[in-house]
Amino acid sequence: MSTPPVAAVPPHRGSKFGQRLRDFWHQVTEGAELSQLWGQFKSEARSSYGLYSREVDWDQIRTGPRWKRPFRAGWALFKVFLMKLSPARRVLLLLAIAFLIWPRTVIAGQTTIVAMDTGSIGVLLLFLLLALELADRVTMKRDLEIAREIQRRLLPEEPPKIPGWQIAFRTRAANTVGGDYYDAFPRAAAPGSMLVAVADVAGKSVPAALLMATFQASLEALAALPGTLADLARGLNRYTSAHSLDGLRFTTAFVAELDPATGGLDYVNAGHNAPFLLRAAGAIERLEATNVPFGIAPSTDYESKSVSIGRGDTLVIFSDGVVEAVNDREEEYGEHRFRDVLIRLRGADAQNLLEAVFFDVDRYVGQARQHDDLTCLVLRRD
């Protein structure tokens, strides 16, 4: 006996609406969970509050009666926020607030009295103000995306292949563009040697990115000239000093020249975080700063130091954004946690060690907003 065909049940109209609603929600949230969205909101709110509160004179607010301080603090923050807008948008915001505070306005003429519901007008004005600010943000974001693409092309995508050596590097900007720089390339003026560099321009975003591009161009130009590593460092300092705004935009850097055949490494540490040199036998050395950062004093006489990298040794160069990353309690990741990861994975290859460092930093920071650029370069001798 054959089974009669089962008629297809048309989907309920409500299910289509529910699916559309779920698709829209997924598009809005980009698939993030509610806990992730809440953590992101708290991080962004904390960052925005820091932006406005820096311009408030809190000492003045603390004077006077205690009960007045919350009102004075709120008014001071509102004024800072207001002055971030253009004059026309300030007026628009004030009108919107006025209409929302007094949602019904009575206009009395000679013969008639008209009551207007201005609350909805206030909402429309706020929506208009939001649209104008978003248009500016979209335009700026588009320009920053172009700048990020240009900056990406200034940095190497793949490490050079050196027989008997492993190199891995990675950077992540706090904003769309950043001020960290890294590179590893053969030095034409010294055949057979490799130039390795990690630098950090003071500041973040566009100003730091522009100076980073200047530093990169200077390094490549000077690396093509004959001379010692110390000569190259002195030339970098002169270039950087010419664009450092009297030392306000200085650059910390670790620049080294490697002889792959012997493992000899000459280096200049210009005020940069001391890299970790993990010895295969278990010892850990730090390549401490030898000079002040580039860009502070154009006449500084830079000197280089030397160290030997043996088989199984690993050199880890990093920017301060790694160890100074903070979680939502404003607690720093710290060098001791960084050191623990390096010790635990001292025998790993360069790429796995690099990925482990970024994973551990991300796990510690959680949903907190990244405050500084993160860069790390790992050099390991097989």
What domains are there in the chain, each with its CATH number? Answer: 156-381 (3.60.40.10)
Q: State the pLDDT at residue 6.
A: 45
- Which helix (H) or strand (E) segment is 97 a member of? helix 87-101
Q: CA angle at residue 96 from 90 to 99, to 5 degrees?
A: 140
Nearest CA among 339, 330, 341 for reference residue 366 = 330
Q: 322-342 as b/e, with b when 16 or more CB fall inside 10 Å?
A: bbebbeeeeeebebebbbebb
How high is the pLDDT of residue 126? 92
What are the C-alpha distances in Å from 279 to residues 164, 268, 310, 316, 346? 16, 20, 8, 11, 8
Q: What is the largest CA-CA distance in the chain?
A: 100
pLDDT at 330: 86
* Other Cβ atoms closer than 10 A to 285: 14
- Residues with pLDDT less than 70, the chain: 1-14, 104-116, 247
Neighbours of 143 (CB within 10 A): 12
Count Cα neighbours of 28 within 13 Å in the Cβ-side half-sphere.
8
pTM of the full predicted structure? 0.72
Confidence at residue 63, expressed as pLDDT on a 0 to 100 scale = 84
pLDDT of residue 118: 78
The identity of residue 32, as a single letter, is: A
pLDDT digits (tens, 9 = 90+) for 195-216: 999 999 987 778 788 888 889 9
**3-class SS of residue 106:** strand
**pLDDT number for residue 112:** 53
Spatial distance between the Cα atoms of 152 and 141, rounded to a whole number of angstroms: 16
Strand, helix or coil for residue 105: strand
